[in-house]
Amino acid sequence: MNTFDENRFQNDELENKPENSFSDTPETNEVPEAQNEYNGWEASPYIREYSAGSEIAEPVQEIYEPVYTESSDTFTIETDEPAPEHNGALINETVKKKGIKKYVAVIVAASVVNLAVLGGMFFVGYKLGTKELDMPSKFHDAEKSKENVLGILGEDSKDENTSGAKKTVVQGEELSTVEISKKVGPAVVGITSKIESAASFFGGPAYAEGTGSGIIITGDGYIVTNHHVIEGATAVSVTLNTGSEYEAKVIGADSRTDLAVLKISPNEQLTVAELGDSSVVEVGERAVAIGNPLGMEFFGSTTQGIISAKNRTITVDNKTMSVLQTDAAINEGNSGGALVNAYGKVIGINAVKISSSTVEGMGFAIPISEAKPILTDLIQYGYVKGRPVIGISSRDVTEYMAQRQNWPMGVQVMEVMIGTGAEIAGLRQGDIITKADGKEVRTVDELNKIKNGHKPGESLQLEVYKYETGLKTNVSVRLGEERPE
C-alpha cells in the first residue's frame, strides 16, 4: 500500500414412470387384451394382484371401472368380489399383458424427447435473459470470458445522461453492515506479490513479499487491485476467503491511475462483487471498507465510516489522482480492497491514506466509475489506449537553475526515445521546451496538460531552446501512443 508523509500530500480537489407403467389419466388407460378373455366379472371392493405370465385359478366376471396401480410387471384390478380361494388360500390371479411394453416404450420415448426439447429451450432462454456468470469449466472460452467482463464494466456507459441532467439510480433497500460484510466479504481476496531484490548472501537471488487486497469482478476469475500492490512482482498469487490459493496472471497494469487487473483459473464457485456507480455518491453516506490490513493475518477485516468528500485531487509519488475521501479505516494491506456503499455495491477501490501523527481518519479510494474505462482497456489491450506521448523524459528548469546556467525556464529534455516523434522532430538531450501550442510552459505538468488535450497521431507545436546553439526554434512533434515497456 502507498503511504506518504503529510509534507508530500497535495490536496487540490416431469418425472418419468417405470417402463411398464400406465398413465393415471382415465382417457389414456386401456384395459389389456387379457381382460377380454374372461367374462362375467362382477364389481367388488376387493383388490386383486395379477403378475405377468401367471395362470388364472378360476374364471372371473366382467370388470367395472378397473384401476391400474402397476409397478414393475404387475397391475391390480378392483372388483366387487373377493379373490377366489384355493384350498383355503387366496390365489394371486394374473393375466398376460399383451403389447403393453411396446406401448409404454413409445410413450416414455416421446416424453424424454419432449423433456429434452423443453429443457434446452429453458436453458437458452435463461442464458439470454441473465448476465450472471457461472463458474467456468476447463474448456472455458477465454474470448467469451473477456466479452463478459467487458460487458459488466461497460454497463454504466450505456446509461450516461446528457450534459446538465441529474443522474438517478435505483439502489434498492439499504443493508446492515453485517449484511454488507456477508455479501461483499467473500469477493475480497488477498494478493501476495513475490519481488526479486538484491542478491542474497549466498549469491543467489533474494525475494521479498508484499501483500494487498483485490476484488473479484467476474465468476471466471477477473480481479481488480492497485498497481502498486503488484508493481515489480515476478510472481503473484491470490488467496480466497475459503483459504484456496491460486497463481495469478497480470492482464494489465497502469501506474498513472494505480490500477491493475489479474486473472485466476478457479476450480470452485467464486463470489462476485456488485459494482456500483460512484458518480451518484453523496457526502455523508455510509461507507464500509473491506480488505486485509497489515497482511493476511487480518484477512477480510471490515471497517465502517462515511464518505467525507468526493472529487478530491491528491498527488502521490508524482501522480495526480481524483479520489473519494472516507474516514473508514484504510491501512497498509487494504490497498486494492473494496469501499462499499449502504446497498452492498462497490463504489471505490481502496488506495491510500495519509500517514501523519497529526492526521487521523483520512483514507482515499479510486472511484469505481472512473476506474471502469481504465479496467476495460487493461483487459482488452493490456494498457490504456489513447494516451499521447512526445517520446522524452524530462525535468523542470527551476528559477535557480535558469539564473545559474543562464537558461530560460521551461521543461528540459533529459532523454529522447528512439523512433519517436521527438527524435524525428530533432529534439536532443539538454534542449528546453518553453512553449507548447503557443502557451508558455514552465513545468512538466503544464506541458503534459497541453499534450493530453491531443490524440495519438496529432501534432504538437513546440518552441525549443536548443542546448547546443543557445537559439530558439519551432518544431512540430507527431505524438505517439503511450504503451507499457
Model confidence at 115, pLDDT cuts 50, 70, 90, reads low
In CATH, the number for domain 388-481 is 2.30.42.10
Which of 244, 444, 439, 314 has the alpha carbon at shortest distance from 2?
Answer: 314
68 has pLDDT over 50 = no
208 has pLDDT over 70 = yes
Give the whole-angstrom CA distance, residue 426 versus residue 431.
Answer: 10
Q: Computed over its alpha carbons, how large is the radius of gyration of the chain? A: 38
At 387, which amino acid appears?
A: R
Model confidence at 207, pLDDT cuts 50, 70, 90, reads confident
Burial of 190 (0-12, 13-18, 19+ CB in 10 A): buried
Residue 343 contacts by C-beta under 8 Å, 6 or more apart in sequence?
A: 171, 172, 173, 174, 175, 276
Residues labelled catalytic = 228, 258, 335
pTM of the model: 0.64
285 has pLDDT over 50 = yes
What CATH class does 278-372 carry?
A: mainly beta
Give the whole-angstrom CA distance, residue 106 versus residue 251.
Answer: 55
Longest dimension (CA), the chain: 134
332 has pLDDT over 50 = yes
* Per-residue pLDDT reduced to its tens digit, 120-156: 555 545 444 444 444 444 444 566 666 677 776 766 5
User: So what's the pLDDT on residue 54?
Assistant: 44
Domain boundaries along the sequence of the chain:
26-96, 278-372, 388-481
Neighbours of 35 (CB within 10 A): 16
257 in Cβ contact with 321 (< 8 Å): yes
159 has pLDDT over 70 = no
Question: Which residues does residue 79 pair with via DSSP β-bridges, in sequence order?
Answer: 46
Mean pLDDT of the chain: 76
Q: Mapped to the 3 state alphabet, what secondary structure does 62-107 carry?
A: CCCCCCCCCECCEEEEEEECCCCEECCEECCCCCCCCCHHHHHHHH
At 55, which amino acid appears?
A: E
Strand 480-481 to strand 388-389: parallel, antiparallel, or no bridges (unpaired)?
antiparallel
User: So what's the pLDDT on residue 201?
Assistant: 61
Which of 336, 371, 342 has the alpha carbon at shortest distance from 152?
Answer: 371
Task: Extract the C-alpha cell encoding 422.
Answer: 521527438
Model confidence at 195, pLDDT cuts 50, 70, 90, reads confident
Query: What is 434-446 written as a DSSP string?
Result: EEETTEE--SHHH
Give 37-43's long-range contacts (Cβ < 8 A, gap of 24+).
37/95, 38/62, 41/79, 41/81, 42/79, 42/80, 42/81, 43/79, 43/80, 43/81
* Per-residue pLDDT reduced to its tens digit, 375-421: 999 999 999 999 999 999 999 999 999 999 999 999 999 999 999 99
Q: Where are the alpha helices (DSSP H) in 189-293?
A: 227-230
The answer to which of 194-203, 218-227, 328-337, 466-475 has the lowest mean pLDDT is 194-203
Helix (H, G, I), strand (E, B) or coil at 381: helix
